[in-house]
Amino acid sequence: MIKTPFLLSVFVLSYLFPVHAQVTPLYNLVPYVNPFIGTQKMGHTFPGATVPFGSVQLSPDTDTIPMYDENGNYIRDVYAYCAGYQYDDPTIVGFSHTHFSGTGHSDLGDILLMPTVGELKLNPGTADKPASGYRSAYSKDNEAAEPNYYRVLLDDYQVLAELTTTTRVGMHRYTFPATNQAHLILDMVHGIYPYEGKNVWTFLRVENDTLVTGYRMTTGWARTRTVYFAMAFSKPFREYGFHQAKKEPYVGFWRRFDQTSNFPEAAARELRGHFNFEMQEGEKLLVKVAISSVSASGALQNMQTEAPHWDFDRVKKQGQDCWNDELNKVQVETLTEGEKVNFYTSIYHSFLGPTEYMDVDGRYKGLDQEIHQADGFINYTSFSLWDTYRALHPLFNILQPARNRDMIRSMLAHYGQSVHKMLPVWSHYANENWCMIGYHSVSVIADALAKGIGGFDPDQALEACVNTARNQYYDALPLYMELGFVPEDKSSNSASKTLEFAYNDWCIAQVAEALGRTDIYEEFMARSENFKNLFDHETGFMRPRLSDGAFVTDFDPLDTHGQGFIEGNAWNYGLYVPHNLEGLVSLKGGKEKFATFLDELFTMTLPDKYFEQTEDVTREGIIGNYVHGNEPSHHIPFLYYWTDEPWKTQERVRMIGPLMYHPAPDGLGGNDDFGQMSAWYIFNALGFYPVLPGSDQYVIGSPSVVSADVKLENGKVFSVRTVNQSEENVYIMKITLNGKPLDRHYIRHQEITDGGELVFYLGRRPLK
């Protein structure tokens, strides 16, 4: 008998009898999350099961390798499989335990399981010839996903597969037909972004007839990464075997054993295993897989702590309760049900990472390959910082300040383990992958300090920021320090780097100022003005320069590629001076000319040739020449506030929302980038946006919600209300904060955390 947990009782009561004031009600918001959003086209999300910030993110992989048609023509490259899943794929390879959400490069996909029936197949097969391997066809009608729950009927085997998780444990429930040839495939070769040589080593042990342990060590995006696991079955297997997908050249005295059959230990670069069962009609096989970065015993301890039982529905329910708590942090009313789905799915996507990265006892493998103890904080990994510093970490400072504090402590721990004496750039699983540009940990730190998020040592943080920014070999940084800009002839994407470095330097100056370190403040404020060195008065654009000081020739400010910028052209990325927008506007010729420039950006017709370049610029993600699918433009709609036409910001953001987000699998206009795209949506739905992380200000936009109650960790509630909200009424007539008119284009962080009410009076025509 399962006792109803106290939490559940409270939840049920709250749902039936919502109570206002101190005890805020919990609504059942889980149904408003659609995990399939973003799984079609380039959203790069996954539909599988996970709890908020879960270490295990257990999801179906439909493919992870390039696809070609029967004539060898390219259909889809590995980029489409950053999260292992494409909505339109006809087959499922299996269910693996680790995934990134929304990234534009990838890794992971560890420890794939697949239940099969009949002839044993140990190769995944290919999508065009599914019968060649263990993969299975499935019907979209038989697939469903909710937060912490995924279900699909595997047509080839008539096995119903269900997935749910705790933070560190994936639980599988497979309902079989009657068969004496039921198999569970364990594929240790499978991974996301695979290539010949990605697997470094795998190790497997059958501890007893219901418990298997081991690890998978890979290289690639994370150069040195090991995932340990423990896997338990709800009933003993009948027999099992391990097989080398690629034969090891040395066999030695192991040749004495038939290691392929019922031999309890295997180690090689590329191992696959199978476990055989006899199953009755409708009989369920449950499997628990716990992971660890420390050891198999650490994984086992994680399993024994978080999921000591076999109650799948209880695990599912606990995770969904947890999601419901998180979703209820913002209770919104929207004009349409679809917008509510957009909103809560955005919350869901925003809370998928960074992920918890430590065992239940706080131990984890660090960047230095040593085992560390997270002392008094939760250690997180997977920092996609070039994306997430913009809106996701600022969102955390409102909705998840405790977690964001621990994320910063995790970054500082990373710094302490870094032989480069650098904060994370793009780090995951105890590895720095150096993806993208800048050193945006400093933005996350500055933003937290500006918003009064304590709980970490600010002096240590400043030291980490400064050492990072003074590194003598990181990505053209010495040239930047010497010349005041990154020269394109020495380092590609030089303009983007210069602009991001300059913004980062402003962040460091803010930290220094807060700590009274005038020397550092002045050094980095001076560096933060380096953006000016790139402005070309002749063309009116930020334009890359060469090391001799000359601007590059053959400069095309519409082109995203080879022009000194990355994931953005000069039109878009050239506006990235969030810390000195007055200076930018001045360079651009004043407010009037700047407004005209912005208008042209949003309304021009971009010639076809600019869409034919790479996956990072797609028609779905572009409005005129404004690229919403990539992050450098995310602040642009708000720049009208630095002109005399602020109402155009209100118009733009209300236009962008419905165009770029809709409640369907293809509902994201670009990579979700670990929640940055979703965080943009949340802020804009609420009516404000952190144009300048590192300051305590949010620039006013135009809310799309009817109302919202933001429940803060300090117990207070910050409410957004609208008057005359409708699809047409996008313009702000008046704003009041706690009943008083708000005469500025921003609100301060403390005005949120103090609780209160922000009321937007909306109208159909701009208030010019």
Binding site for a second copy (CB under 8 A): 195-198, 200-201, 203, 205-207, 215, 217, 219-221, 223-224, 248-250, 252-254, 256-258, 262-265, 267, 269, 295-297, 368-371, 419-420, 426, 433-435, 473, 475, 491
252 vs 376, beta carbon nearer a second copy: 252
- Residue 701 identity: G
195 vs 611, beta carbon nearer a second copy: 195
Q: What is d(CA 139, CA 88) in angstroms, rounded to the nearest whole number?
A: 10
Number of H helices, E strands in the chain: 18, 37
Provide the minimum distance between the beta carbon of 588 and a second copy in the complex, in angstroms, as a whole number.
31
Roughly how many angstroms between the first and final C-alpha of the chain, as a whole number? 66
Provide the minimum distance between the beta carbon of 760 and a second copy in the complex, in angstroms, as a whole number.
43
DSSP 254: G
Judge whether 313 and 222 are in contact, CB under 8 Å: no
Closest to 193 measured CA to CA, from 158, 218, 230: 218
56 vs 206, beta carbon nearer a second copy: 206
272 vs 517, beta carbon nearer a second copy: 272
39 vs 226, beta carbon nearer a second copy: 226
76 vs 420, beta carbon nearer a second copy: 420
Provide the minimum distance between the beta carbon of 7 and a second copy in the complex, in angstroms, as a whole number.
35
Provide the minimum distance between the beta carbon of 491 and a second copy in the complex, in angstroms, as a whole number.
8
Provide the minimum distance between the beta carbon of 110 and a second copy in the complex, in angstroms, as a whole number.
17
Count of beta carbons in the 10 Å neighbourhood of residue 713: 13
Does residue 458 have a cis bond before it (omega within 30 degrees)? Answer: no
Provide the minimum distance between the beta carbon of 365 and a second copy in the complex, in angstroms, as a whole number.
10
Helix/strand/coil for 628:
coil
Q: What is d(CA 584, CA 531) in angstroms, rounded to the nearest whole number?
A: 9
- Which residue has 């009208």 as its token pair? 640
Provide the minimum distance between the beta carbon of 755 and a second copy in the complex, in angstroms, as a whole number.
43
Tokens coding 256:
């004495």
Q: Pinpoint the alpha helices (H) of 661-697.
A: 676-686
Provide the minimum distance between the beta carbon of 268 and a second copy in the complex, in angstroms, as a whole number.
8
Q: What is d(CA 107, CA 153) in angstroms, rounded to the nearest whole number?
A: 27
268 vs 585, beta carbon nearer a second copy: 268
257 vs 611, beta carbon nearer a second copy: 257
527-to-262, 566, 586 alpha-carbon distances in Å? 64, 21, 19
Judge whether 65 and 89 are in contact, CB under 8 Å: no
Provide the minimum distance between the beta carbon of 253 and a second copy in the complex, in angstroms, as a whole number.
4
295 vs 331, beta carbon nearer a second copy: 295
- Residue 17 identity: F
Provide the minimum distance between the beta carbon of 369 and a second copy in the complex, in angstroms, as a whole number.
6
66 vs 90, beta carbon nearer a second copy: 66
φ/ψ (deg, to 5) at 371: -85, 125
Q: What is d(CA 419, CA 438) in angstroms, rounded to the nearest whole number?
A: 18
Closest to 264 measured CA to CA, from 218, 211, 217, 227: 211
Q: Within the chain, what is the greatest distance between any pair of CA atoms?
A: 86
Provide the minimum distance between the beta carbon of 548 and a second copy in the complex, in angstroms, as a whole number.
22
Provide the minimum distance between the beta carbon of 461 and a second copy in the complex, in angstroms, as a whole number.
23
Closest to 598 measured CA to CA, from 536, 566, 642: 642
Provide the minimum distance between the beta carbon of 573 and a second copy in the complex, in angstroms, as a whole number.
19
Provide the minimum distance between the beta carbon of 163 and a second copy in the complex, in angstroms, as a whole number.
28
Q: Which residues contact 336 (CB under 8 A, 6 or more apart)?
A: none
15 vs 257, beta carbon nearer a second copy: 257
Helix/strand/coil for 242:
strand
434 vs 761, beta carbon nearer a second copy: 434
Q: What is d(CA 274, CA 134) in angstroms, rounded to the nearest whole number?
A: 11
State the number of CA atoms in the 13 A half-sphere of 308 facing the CB: 3
Residue 346: left (phi > 0), alpha (psi -120 to 50), or beta? Answer: alpha
8 vs 435, beta carbon nearer a second copy: 435
Judge whether 667 and 43 are in contact, CB under 8 Å: yes
Provide the minimum distance between the beta carbon of 195 and a second copy in the complex, in angstroms, as a whole number.
6
416 vs 766, beta carbon nearer a second copy: 416
433 vs 580, beta carbon nearer a second copy: 433
Provide the minimum distance between the beta carbon of 216 and a second copy in the complex, in angstroms, as a whole number.
12
DSSP 693: B
Q: What is d(CA 495, CA 594) in angstroms, rounded to the nearest whole number?
A: 20
Provide the minimum distance between the beta carbon of 224 and a second copy in the complex, in angstroms, as a whole number.
5
- Residue 432 identity: E
Helix/strand/coil for 186:
strand
| Count of residues making up the chain | 768
Segment (H or E) for 331? strand 330-334
Opening angle at CA 676, ends 372 and 290, nearest 5: 40
Q: What is d(CA 352, CA 51) in angstroms, rounded to the nearest whole number?
A: 8
Orientation of helix 591-603 relative to helix 647-660, angle to 10°: 20
294 vs 464, beta carbon nearer a second copy: 294
Q: What is d(CA 58, CA 49) in angstroms, rounded to the nearest whole number?
A: 5
76 vs 205, beta carbon nearer a second copy: 205
Q: Pinpoint the alpha helices (H) of 470-517.
A: 477-483, 494-514
